[in-house]
Structure 1
Amino acid sequence: MPAAPMKRGSNAALTREIPNLRGVVLGVALASSEPVLNDNLVVATLLCDDDHKVLSDEHMVFFNQLTEPDLSVTQLAAAAGGDVEQVEVDLDDVPAAVHRIVVVAYLNEGMGHRRTLGQLRDARIRVLNLADGAELVRSENLAPALTGETGLVLGELYRHEGGWKFKVVGQGYPNGVVGIAADHGIGL
């Protein structure tokens, strides 16, 4: 049964609600009626410290780097359930230095082709229980609020009082991956 949609800025205390939760799958659904736009969408997962800065270049999970050094966060080869990308997170194995796991989407070459995320009809993120596939969290459709952005922070899994919470973010970037990189300490 799908979870009730959560609005931007809302969060859910995952491990407080489900104390035996050991792993999750972060699923991203992005859809446009324009195939060129769909083909140029990139989903990436950033493993960040408490200051929202990526630990290193090896702590970014995306199509060119499907896992990080500790193998606790892995982009799955095939997504299911309507998601275009899915990332598996083994909560017990996430390195102690990682405080936030941030899921972003951006247009590869979006600015040069005059395409924007405002052309999306659907942009959502959800959290599934790795053990049984049950949907724990689903964001509202973030697409209607997008206009000229070429980058988007969909949501973040973060440590809180010894457990894990999830927050729907929905922050757009008019300068795409460059803006996301600047905010998260990534050198391009």
Structure 2
Amino acid sequence: MAINLKKGQRISLKKEAPGLTNVMCGLGWDVAESKGLFGLFKGNDFDLDASVLCLTSKGKLKSKSDVIYFGNLNHGSGAITHLGDNLTGEGQGDDEQILVDLTKVPDDIVRLVFVVNIYKARQRQQSFGQVKNAFVRLVNLSNNKEIARYSLLGEEYEGKTGMILAEVYRDDGEWKMQAVGTGVMANGLQEMTNEYY
């Protein structure tokens, strides 16, 4: 049974899924309905973009190629594959998925930071306060069992346009996961990554 993580909680992937090598990080969300003059309506589509930042032990990106997102779907090592952009968040389950082969992650990359941002958030006047049922989950691809899930409460992120969701990191040679859930105000992925160079 999957663990429902609380903000800041850490788990050992070795303990929760012995022998784990390939994982899928799934992200999902729905857009909260707004009340208008003529009842309920949905505003502009929310385009949430999931990305992975591959950080060194110093917490830095070595290059732009260590950011995996809709414009760079594959890491050069073959360890990380983004399965593509979902422009609306429509549908059930995961809206975006990222595959990670933990055995191929280069030794100098010790932290995989999973982030999400709202595309054109400022222009569209959108924030995570208008998003509901947002979650990040980690699935063991050898048996398709969910290892852990972290659900976000939209109201607490009013005004935030980016989110650091979770981290998968190496600690003494062992992979672990931490639920982060930190909202940031950033106009796009570039702004979110600036502090990591």
Q: What TM-score results when the alignment is normalised by the length of structure 2? A: 0.85
Quick one: distance in 1 between partners of 2:78 and 2:145? Answer: 23
Q: What value does the CA root-mean-square deviation take over the aligned residues?
A: 2.0
Contact 1:104/1:154 (CA < 8 Å) preserved in 2? yes
Gaps of 5+ in 2: 33-41
My pick for the range that moved more, 142-151 or 159-168, is: 142-151
Gaps of 5+ in 1: none
Larger Rg: 2
User: Aligned to 2:44, which of 30, 36, 49?
Assistant: 36
Paired AA for residue 17 in structure 2: I
The 3-state SS of whatever aligns with 1:20 is coil
The residue aligned with 2:143 is 132
The residue aligned with 1:55 is 62
Number of equivalent positions:
183
- Listed one character per residue, the Cα deviations across residues 34-55 of structure 1 (whole Å, up to 9, x for unaligned) are 46242x2111111111232222
Relative to structure 1, the CA distance from residue 125 to residue 182 in structure 2 (aligned partners, 3 Å threshold; closer, same or farther) is same
Contact 1:117/1:149 (CA < 8 Å) preserved in 2? yes
Dislocated runs of 4+, deviation >3 Å = 77-81, 176-179
The 3-state SS of whatever aligns with 1:111 is helix
Deviation at 1:111, TM superposition (A): 1.1
Paired AA for residue 7 in structure 1: K
Relative to structure 1, the CA distance from residue 155 to residue 12 in structure 2 (aligned partners, 3 Å threshold; closer, same or farther) is same
The 3-state SS of whatever aligns with 2:158 is coil
Deviation at 1:115, TM superposition (A): 1.1
Quick one: distance in 2 between partners of 1:16 and 1:162? Answer: 13
- Listed one character per residue, the Cα deviations across residues 52-103 of structure 1 (whole Å, up to 9, x for unaligned) are 2222111111111111101100012599970111111101110011111111
The residue correspondences of 1:15-30 to structure 2 (distance < 5 A) are: 15-30=14-29
Contact 2:16/2:147 (CA < 8 Å) preserved in 1? no
Quick one: distance in 1 between partners of 2:164 and 2:137? Answer: 13
The residue correspondences of 1:40-119 to structure 2 (distance < 5 A) are: 40-77=47-84, 82-119=93-130
Q: What TM-score results when the alignment is normalised by the length of structure 1? A: 0.89
Paired AA for residue 182 in structure 1: N
Quick one: distance in 2 between partners of 1:73 and 1:86? Answer: 11
